[in-house]
Amino acid sequence: MSMIQSENFSLYYGNKLAVNRVSMDIEISGVTAIIGPSGCGKSSFLRSINRMNDLIPNTRIEGRLTVDGKDVYDKRTDLVQLRRHVGMVFQRPNPFPKSIFDNIVYGPRLQGIRNHTKLNEIVEHCLKNAALWDEVKDILSKSALALSGGQQQRLCIARALATQPRVLLMDEPCSALDPIAAGKIEELIVALKEQYTVVIVTHNMQQAARISDRTAFFCLGELIEYSDTNTIFTNPSNPQTEAYITGRFG
């Protein structure tokens, strides 16, 4: 079954076409990686799924994009609810200048949860799911900004999990991290894929090969090829895909 479906979906920034008639189904659970050269539309497509592109002036879309069967761009769509169910983790860690505890409970408090016992349970559950609990359980009142880069990124993942999303979007979540911290994030993504539908944009093809179940190759705003990851990296059907993964362009 599909969690995310796009049908001839296009995105424009003013007159510039960033995503061109992309049609793809992203299955429930598992990790889908989107790869391609810089400026190929992969991050633009990712941000379209929870309408983060609405923050950019003069954007417009054509076609259809649904999450769990609901049209993301329907005028009746509640953006708060959409972004609750479709969490986002960005390229650089962006913890709030608050305590570790307050970072996690920020979303639940907005949803009206005030019971301290319940908030404590949410913090522990999300930090454990983000493989961070053992490292921070004794310093929850400490500023999140004092954590290392890798810890901050896992905290941001825990913060996204606190709103009980069904989908996690990750826009190059390891690119600002050292190899050891990146490895921990990769392990975390693999662990999360049983519970969540994860869509990750990455320039790192080795990373896509290691952690994803399916891979989509974008170029010049178009979806060139989309298949299970092993096929994409060992037997691609499109010459452009083969040229990219073998390093002949990009």
pLDDT tens digit sequence for 86-130 = 999 999 999 999 999 999 999 999 999 999 999 999 999 999 999
d(CA 218, CA 157): 25
d(CA 11, CA 188): 31
* Phi, psi for 89 (deg, rounded to 5): -120, 130
d(CA 145, CA 148): 8
pLDDT > 70 in the chain, percent: 100
176 band by pLDDT with thresholds 50, 70 and 90: confident
pLDDT at 191 over 90: yes
The answer to whether the CB of 140 falls within 8 A of the CB of 123 is yes
The CB density around residue 24, as the number of other CB atoms within 10 Å, is: 17
For residue 75, which amino acid is it? Answer: K
Per-residue burial over 36-47, b = 16 or more CB atoms within 10 Å of its CB, e = otherwise: beeebbbbbbbb
The answer to whether the CB of 162 falls within 8 A of the CB of 104 is yes
Residues ≥6 apart with Cβ < 8 Å to 108: 118, 119, 122, 162, 163
What is the token pair recorded at 167?
A: 């989908």
Strand, helix or coil at 101?
helix
pLDDT at 249 over 80: no
Q: Does domain 2-245 have CATH number 3.40.50.300?
A: yes
Strand, helix or coil at 232?
helix
What is the token pair recorded at 188?
A: 């975390």
Q: What is the residue-averaged pLDDT of the chain?
A: 95
d(CA 241, CA 249): 10
What mean pLDDT comes out for the span 222-238?
Answer: 97
pTM of the full predicted structure? 0.94
Query: What pLDDT was estimated at residue 250?
Result: 62
142 band by pLDDT with thresholds 50, 70 and 90: very high
Give domain limits for the chain.
2-245
pLDDT > 90 in the chain, percent: 94
